[in-house]
Amino acid sequence: MKRRSFIATLLAGAMAFALGGCGRSGPRFHSVDITGAEYAKGFSLTDHTGAARTLADYKGKVVTVFFGFTHCPDVCPTSLATMKQALTLLGPDAARVQVLFITLDPERDTGELLAAYVPQFDPSFVGLRGDAAATAAAAKEYKIFYQKVAGKTPDSYTLDHSAGTYVHDAQGHVRLFIRHGETPQKIADDLKALLAQG
């Protein structure tokens, strides 16, 4: 009898623990929830208009951060186009989201080139760049791998790099990592959930 009582108590405790986990506050995201991560805390770069920018400049908006380069044949334009579709799904709430594109190729991606490339996807999108050292520092902060791959000529090189997008909430805290290939609808759902938190 005592053994049954002990087992019943254990089961009840386990059930309460499980239910407590289910009742965890906050939304459930499609993307990887990295709330509380000790990385991806910000950057110090220049935008495509020549203005110095840090993450703090965008406080009050949900901010997405993607690293790439303008000569990228597939992953980068696809990611930017997907983000544009997600913002379209958000409707008026899209005005409360800032999309940032950080180039990993400052050698070729001048401010002028970023100004011509990034806003093509949406006029609100911002391209960011730095010198080689600032680029490396930003990539390290966001745990982004990148490596130059030689082409047939010195200027035709490409870059292998991490794909995926980080999302900061309106207070500037990193919250999500969106895997490359995620659907616009799921991205929009996650952004809407973060916007609802204020």
pLDDT at 25 over 50: yes
Between these two residues, 72 and 26, which has the higher pLDDT value? 72
CA angle (92 as vertex; 89, 95 as ends), nearest 5: 100
- What pLDDT, in 10s, does the model give residues 121-173? 999 999 999 999 999 999 999 999 999 999 898 888 999 999 999 999 999 99
CA distance 193 to 46: 29
> What integer pLDDT is reported at residue 7 of this predicted model?
38
What does the pLDDT read at residue 15? 37
Residue 2 to residues 5, 9, 172, Cα–Cα distance (Å): 5, 10, 54
Helix (H) or strand (E) holding 7: helix 2-22
* Spatial separation of the C-alpha atoms in residues 37 and 181, rounded to whole Å: 23
For the chain, domains (ranges, CATH) are 32-196 (3.40.30.10)
Q: How many whole angstroms separate alpha carbon 21 and alpha carbon 79?
A: 33
- Show Cβ contacts of residue 173 under 8 Å, excluding neighbours closer than 6 positions: 35
Tokens of 140: 């390290």
pLDDT tier for residue 22 given thresholds of 50, 70 and 90? very low
Is 161 annotated to bind a ligand? Reply is yes
More confident residue, 29 or 16: 29
Average pLDDT value for residue range 178-189: 97
pLDDT over 90 percentage in the chain: 82
Beta strands at 62-68 and 52-54: parallel, antiparallel or unpaired: unpaired
22 is in an annotated binding site: no
In this structure, what token pair is assigned to residue 85? 């579709």
Give the global pTM.
0.85
Euclidean distance between the first and final Cα of the chain, in Å?
53
Is the per-residue pLDDT at 26 higher than 70? no
72 assigned binding-site residue: yes
Angle at 132 between CA 128 and CA 138, to 5 degrees: 55
